[in-house]
């Protein structure tokens, strides 16, 4: 992160996604014991679904990780994108596919 900032090519480094997978990340950074967290795009593997619902799916996948942490559970990096999509549709219907705010 320090190298990226000192390069002058950016002003900010976001760590929100890694925190959803490594809840202890702040302590690890402070102690110098962290390892780089690689986050892949959250996709179903079906191009049409990923194109139409990709942004919503990605957001809900990470929100589900934060929900697990809030319940005292460990995040699940292998959580199925399909499971998140179906849960979103079940709980919110078609409105769950929207990324906009009312």
| pLDDT for the residue 99 | 61
Give the pLDDT score at 34: 87
Same domain, 34 and 49: no
| Same domain? 17 vs 27 | yes
Q: Take residue 89 and report the two structure tokens written for it.
A: 């549709």
Range of the domain at 52: 41-102
CB contact at 8 A, 13 and 24: no
Q: Which of 3-12, 20-29, 71-80 has the lowest mean pLDDT?
A: 3-12
Residues 34 and 67 in one domain: no
Task: Say yes or no: 24 and 48 in one domain.
Answer: no
User: Rounded distance, CA 75 to CA 67, Å?
Assistant: 9
Are 15 and 25 in contact by the 8 Å Cβ rule? The answer is yes
Question: Residue 88: phi, psi to the nearest 5?
Answer: -60, -45
Give pLDDT tens digits for 27-80.
998 999 988 877 788 999 999 999 988 888 999 999 999 999 999 999 999 999
The total domain count for the chain is 2
Same domain for 27 and 49: no
Residues 7-22 have a mean pLDDT of 83
Whether 31 and 45 share a structural domain: no
SS3 29: helix
């Amino acid at each position: 992160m320090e190298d990226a900032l000192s390069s002058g090519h950016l002003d900010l480094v976001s760590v929100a996604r890694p925190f959803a997978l490594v809840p202890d990340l702040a302590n690890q950074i402070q102690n110098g014991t962290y390892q780089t967290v690689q986050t892949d795009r959250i996709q179903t593997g079906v191009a049409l679904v990923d194109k139409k619902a990709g942004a919503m799916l990605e957001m809900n996948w990470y929100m589900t990780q934060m929900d697990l942490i809030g319940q005292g559970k460990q995040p699940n990096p292998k959580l199925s994108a399909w499971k998140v999509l179906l849960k979103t549709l079940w709980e919110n219907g078609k409105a769950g596919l929207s990324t906009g705010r009312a």
